[in-house]
Chain A
Amino acid sequence: MAQMKLRTKIVSGFVAVVALLVVVSAVAIFFLAEARTGFVTYRGWARDSNLMSNVQGNMLMVRMNVKDFLIRGTQQEVDEYRGYYDTVAELIETATAEIQNPERAAMVEEIKTEVERYDRYFTEVIAFQGDRDIHYQTLVDVGPRIERNLTLILTSAREDGDMVAAYNASLATRSLLLARLYAMKFLDTNARADADRVEAETNTMEEYLSILDAELQNPTRRALLEQVRTFSGEYFKGFEKMVEAIYARNGRTENGLDKIGPNVADLANQVKLSVQADQDALGPKLQRQMYLAGTVVVIVSIVAIVAAVLTALLIVRSVMKQLGADPAAIEAIMKRLVIGDTDVEFTGTGHKGVYRSVREMVEAIRAKAKSLSRIADNDFTEEIVPASDVDALGIALKTMQESVADVLTQAIQASQQVQAGAGQVSQASQDLSQGATEQASSLEEISSSVNEINGQSRRNADNSVEANNLARQAAADAEQGNEQMTQLREAMTNISYSSEEITKVVKVIDDIAFQINLLALNANVEAARAGKYGKGFAVVADEVRNLAVRSAEAVKETTAMVEESVKNIERGNKMTETTADKLSGIVDGSTKVAQFLEEIAAASREQAQAIDQITEGLSQVDRVTQSNTASAEESASASEELASQAQQLFSVVAQFKLRDTQWSNRPNALEYAPAEVASGGGVGSRPVREAVVAGADPHEVIALDDDDFDRF
């Protein structure tokens, strides 16, 4: 850990924290996924339960419609029953598809079978109810007829005075009415006793009818009685069949419908209960899972936070170990160093890392500062030892000390050489003075020659300007001639155009002449056809023709003349062009001559100016020569002054304390050898001329300096 880089430490710390975050997230996501699965299952079951409730509700409506039908027996109830039954069937289909639990699926299957059975029974009940209605109608039709016939028998028997018949007829009527009354009662109660009573009353009525059959003699009444007996048979048979239908219907209702209905409701309820039981098991389980998830997430989060804090502490500790002190303290020290303050105090002991390095650096800087301050006191005797091979500052300091010492040594030598040189300069100055005087006389001669040249140049320039003007005039004249030529050409072009027009007109005249000729010939033909009567006409026609021929000839002549003039114009055009070309040539030539002359004039002027400058330069040279003479005298006196200054410099330089090793190489400034200077190892040492050695012949020195003197 301690060996790792700062960046690696910080990055690995963050990676650890992110890893913990990922663990917490993973745990949370895992528990959320579990909970989601549970809730999806729970919702599916709730849907199943709702489905079953719908089945129960719709089944109830089915049964209510069945009851209504049994009471009222109209088609409306059957239609409503069909609607609700279809809804139930659809709901059961959905339930079969959705409910997967095998136990509940079996129950749904059973519900489906039961409901279908219920439907079959109800279909049968509808059929029986139809039978009952038919037979009931018979009773309603036949009953009143029997009664009417019996009443007719009664009234007619009474009128005839057949009291036996009337009596029996009335008794039969009474039995009939009782039978009908109980038949109606039976319709309401469906009780067996009422049916038996109807049978008994019918039998009683039959007995009275048998008596009537024996008694009645009147044929009308016998016929009525026969009808009554037939109707009576029909009535009783109809009633029996109606009873049968009602009992069959009731049997289906009681044994089938009334049992299946509750059974279906019960089965649906069982399914709901089964679902509810599962839900009751799953609900608490989910709740426990959520609670567990919460707890686990909290624990994992706490562990992650603790781990993150520990990691942070570890990283901080490791970093501080590397730095040794807070970066702010190090920065304060560095800032003081920047402004040159090396009096820094280091608190505490056992410094580590960067802080220790800073302390070592400050100590090294202090040592260097001390060495520098000694050099500042003119003391070059200390031997400076660099801290290492790469101690640039130490090496530079050492080099600087040595170089400065070397420079001082050389300064001593130089001051001695300057003394010697000053004498030579004095001699050279005297020679220079003499040369300058000779120069001055030569300059005067040059000056007079230049003035003469100047006058000639100016005259040249004036003549050139005059010639230039003449050339320009010639060019302008030629230009004017050229313009007139152009106008001439235009005029000739116009003539040429007019000639073409004339040619066209002449062609028209020629055409007309041809036409007249044609007409004349045709007239001649006509005249010939007219025989002798046309003779005079023929003469006229000939005359006309002659005129036409003459016109044609005149036209031909005109055409020839016009062509001739066109040719002449073309010839003139060519000549004009040649002349114009020539004139253009003259214009060009004149312009060029003018340009050349102008250039000559300009060149002459420039020459005059240049000569003026030469004159000016010569007078400057003259002045310089005079000042040179004065300067040479001055330098002679200055060189003497220089020699005394060199002596003074030597005495100043000698104040510096130099190490023996530096000084011992040249113990006496006046006796040193040039070879030793070269071997002194000083930076920037300059080769010294052998001739400067004290005691050399001054003439030789001057001879060697001739090259330099040329520069004057």
Chain B
Amino acid sequence: MADDDDDTQSEGTDKYLLFCLADDEYGVPIDLVQSIEELHHIVPVPEMPPYVKGVINLRGTVIPTVDMRLRFGMPERAYDDRTCIIIVQATGRVVGFVVDTVSEVHQIPKTDIQSAPDFTDSSGTDRAVGGIGTVDGEIKILIDMERLVQADEIPASDDLHE
């Protein structure tokens, strides 16, 4: 147990927050997650890529919000009472991601994670895949949030404040 503690301490936790998009589950490292929120009113911001739906006001902080489905090139779906926003803090930026719903927090040991297949596709979508995890025989696609946040043209919340 002490070893485990040390591991988590040194390499970060191997817990992932699992969320749903369409019929599949995806994972986000839990230490990047700031909180999970119910759907807020999203204020549209002009001249943004289509997947940037706008900004939300989270307890006084203005946070840019991205539709994960649109971001991954999936068909758009009307928001319902299960729709959640995952607030992620990575590379010093705070971004909200709209997902169909969140399911659970699950531990995925490194041994159950394979690196992402080497797609040579340069369209950019593969850049966000950090690895493929397996939980009870089911595949969970693990998102590399740091890369995703860095690659996107998401306005920093500070910029918005200005």
CB pair B15–A522 under 8 Å, yes or no, is: no
Q: Assess the A522–B36 pair: CB atoms within 8 A.
A: yes
Q: Please choose the segment from B27-35, B48-56, B68-76 that sits at the chain A interface, where 4 or more of its residues have CB less than 8 A away.
A: B27-35
User: Is A511 in contact with chain B by the CB < 8 A criterion?
Assistant: yes
Interfacial residues of chain A within 263-302, with CB under 8 A of chain B in the complex? none
Tell me whether A684 is interfacial, beta carbon within 8 Å.
no
In Å, the complex CA distance between A66 and B122 comes to: 134
User: CB within 8 A of B30: which of A511, A524, A532?
Assistant: A524
Interface residues of B in 62-105 (CB under 8 A from A): 81-82, 84, 102, 104-105
In the bound complex, residues from chain A placing their C-beta under 8 Å from that of B38 are 515, 518
Smallest beta-carbon distance B123→chain A, Å: 31
A545 near B104 with CB under 8 A, answer yes
Q: Which residues of A contact B15 (CB under 8 A)?
A: 524, 528
**CB-defined contacts of A511 to chain B, threshold 8 Å:** 81
CA A362 to CA B126, docked complex, whole Å: 147
Of the candidates B31, B82, B104, the one having the most CB atoms from chain A within 10 angstroms of its own CB is: B104
Measured CB to CB, the nearest residue on chain A to B19 is: A521
9 contacting pairs across A/B (C-beta < 8 A): A514-B82, A517-B102, A518-B102, A524-B30, A525-B30, A531-B13, A532-B9, A538-B105, A545-B104
Interface size class of B (residues with CB under 8 A): 10 to 19
Partner of A525 from the list B34, B81, B84 (CB cut-off 8 Å) is: B34
Which range holds the interface residue count of chain A?
10 to 19
Write out the residue numbers on chain B whose beta carbons fall within 8 Å of the beta carbon of A517: 102
Kindly identify, within residues 504 to 539 of chain A, every residue whose CB is under 8 Å from any CB belonging to chain B.
511, 514-515, 517-518, 521-522, 524-525, 528-529, 531-532, 535, 538
CB-based nearest A residue for B33: A525
CA distance A518 to B39 in the complex (A): 12
A525 touches B9 (CB 8 A): no
Contact B8 A525 (CB under 8 A): no
- Specify which chain B residues have a CB less than 8 angstroms from the CB of A535 in the assembled complex: 5
A528 & B31 in contact (Cβ 8 Å cutoff): yes
Residues of B within 8 A of A518 (CB): 36, 38, 84, 102
Query: How close is B16's CB to chain A, nearest CB, in angstroms?
Result: 10
Q: Which residues of B contact A524 (CB under 8 A)?
A: 15, 17, 30, 105
Report whether over half of chain A's contact residues are helix, strand or loop; otherwise say mixed: helix
Q: Judge whether A525 and B5 touch: CB under 8 Å.
A: no
Question: Which residues of chain B (1-29) have a CB below 8 Å from chain A?
Answer: 5, 8-9, 13, 15, 17
Residue in A521, A529, A532 whose CB lies within 8 Å of B104: A521
Given contacts A514-B82, A532-B8, A532-B9, contact A525 B35 (CB under 8 A): yes
Q: Which residues of A contact B81 (CB under 8 A)?
A: 511, 514
Complex contact A528–B36 (CB within 8 A):
no
B31 contact set on A, CB distance < 8 A: 528-529
Contact residues in A for B9 (Cβ distance below 8 Å): 531-532
User: Shortest CB–CB separation between residue A331 and chain B, in angstroms?
Assistant: 116
Provide the residues of chain B in CB contact with A528, threshold 8 Å.
Answer: 13, 15, 30-31, 33, 105
Pick the contact of A521 from B5, B13, B34, B105 — CB < 8 Å? Answer: B105
- Which A residues touch B105, using CB under 8 A? 521, 524-525, 528, 538, 541-542, 545
Whether A522 contacts B30 by the Cβ 8 Å rule is no
- In the bound complex, residues from chain A placing their C-beta under 8 Å from that of B35 are 522, 525
The 4 closest A-B pairs by CB, nearest first: A524-B105, A528-B30, A525-B33, A532-B5
Residue ID in chain B nearest A515 by CB atoms: B38
B17 touches A521 (CB 8 A): yes
Q: Which residues of A contact B8 (CB under 8 A)?
A: 531-532
Given the complex, which residues of A lie within 8 Å of B104, measured CB to CB? 521, 545
Minimal Cβ-Cβ distance residue in A for B89:
A529
Question: Which of B5, B8, B17, B36 has most A Cβ within 10 Å?
Answer: B36
Contacting B at CB under 8 A, from A531-578, are 531-532, 535, 538, 541-542, 545
A517 to B19, CA, bound (A): 13
What distance in Å separates the Cβ of B48 from its nearest Cβ neighbour in chain A? 27
**Which residues of chain B are near A531, meaning CB under 8 Å?**
8-9, 13
Distance between Cα atoms of A511 and B15 in the complex (Å): 26
Query: In whole angstroms, how far apart are the Cα atoms of A542 and B106 in the complex?
Result: 10
B30 contact set on A, CB distance < 8 A: 524-525, 528
With A525-B17, A525-B105 already in contact, 4 other A-B pairs whose C-beta atoms are closer than 8 Å: A525-B30, A525-B36, A528-B31, A531-B9
Which residue of chain B has the shortest Cβ distance to A542 in the bound complex? B105
**Which residue in chain A gives the minimum CB-CB distance to B6?**
A532
A494 → chain B, closest Cβ, in Å? 30
Cα of A542 to Cα of B9 in the assembled complex, Å: 21
A51 to B105, CA, bound (A): 132
Q: Which residues of B contact A541 (CB under 8 A)?
A: 105
What is the CA–CA distance of A369 and B95 in the complex, to the nearest angstrom? 143
Residues of chain A within 8 A (CB-CB) of B82 are 514
Please measure, in the bound complex, the distance between the C-alpha atom of A706 and the C-alpha atom of B73, giving whole angstroms: 119
Residues of B within 8 A of A521 (CB): 17, 36, 102, 104-105
Residues of B within 8 A of A522 (CB): 35-36
Residues of B within 8 A of A529 (CB): 31
Per the bound structure, the CA–CA distance linking A281 and B31 in Å amounts to 145
Q: List, in ascending order, chain B residues with CB within 8 A of A545's CB.
A: 104-105
Q: Which residue of chain A is the closest to B29 with respect to CB atoms? A: A528
**Nearest-CB residue, chain B, relative to A529:** B31
List A contacts of B17 (CB < 8 A).
521, 524-525
CA of A515 to CA of B38, assembled, Å: 9
Chain A nearest CB from B31 CB (Å) reads: 6
Interchain CA distance A515-B39 in the complex, whole Å: 12
Q: Give min CB distance, A417 to chain B, whole Å.
A: 120
Complex Cα distance A214/B27, Å? 163
In the docked arrangement, what's the CA distance between A365 and B105, Å? 145
Q: Kindly report which residue of chain A lies nearest to residue B105, judged by CB atoms.
A: A524
